[in-house]
Amino acid sequence: MEFKLPDKLTFKRKEVISITRLDGKVLDYWEKEFNSLKPIVNNVGEKFYTRGHLELILRIKDLLVARKLSKEEARDVLSRECLSESVMVVKPEERDEKLRAIRQELKEILTILDKHDKN
């Protein structure tokens, strides 16, 4: 099932739970089982997820729930997908757009962390 994600770069944990329709305990478990799923945790323990995290969660859900793969099989698929993405040739304009998005995401993360550091 394809759907459009909200046009945001970072998501609070409650938003991720709502979008993915997963229980928070499932997210916690997957964070332990899948190394690339590590949300940002501020100094008060709140978790924030990037758009990439959300896409990964939805991909893991597809592999484990819809396709009924084992964790090991899902890890293998994700590993192969990661390798294939890393060797793809990216057009300069696509690369520049991705870098702008990453830069913006990092600014938002820093803003969130700064707000919590001041409290």
Model pLDDT for residues 41-56, shown as the tens digit of each residue: 888 889 999 988 999 9
The CATH number of whichever domain residue 103 belongs to comes to: 1.10.1660.10
Phi, psi of 47 (to 5 degrees): -100, 140
**Does residue 74 lie in a domain region?**
yes
In angstroms, the CA 70 to CA 64 distance is 6
At 36, is the pLDDT very low, low, confident or very high (cuts 50, 70, 90)? confident
Tokens (6 digits) for 8: 């945001």
**Does residue 17 lie in a domain region?**
yes
Domain membership of residue 35 as a residue range: 10-118
Model pLDDT for residues 69-87, shown as the tens digit of each residue: 999 999 999 988 876 555 4
**Does residue 84 lie in a domain region?**
yes
What is the total count of domains within the chain? 1
**Does residue 60 lie in a domain region?**
yes
**Pair 49, 60: CB distance under 8 Å:** no
**Does residue 3 lie in a domain region?**
no
Which is nearest to 74 in space by CA: 62, 83, 86? 62
- Looking at the predicted structure, is the pLDDT value of residue 88 above 60? no
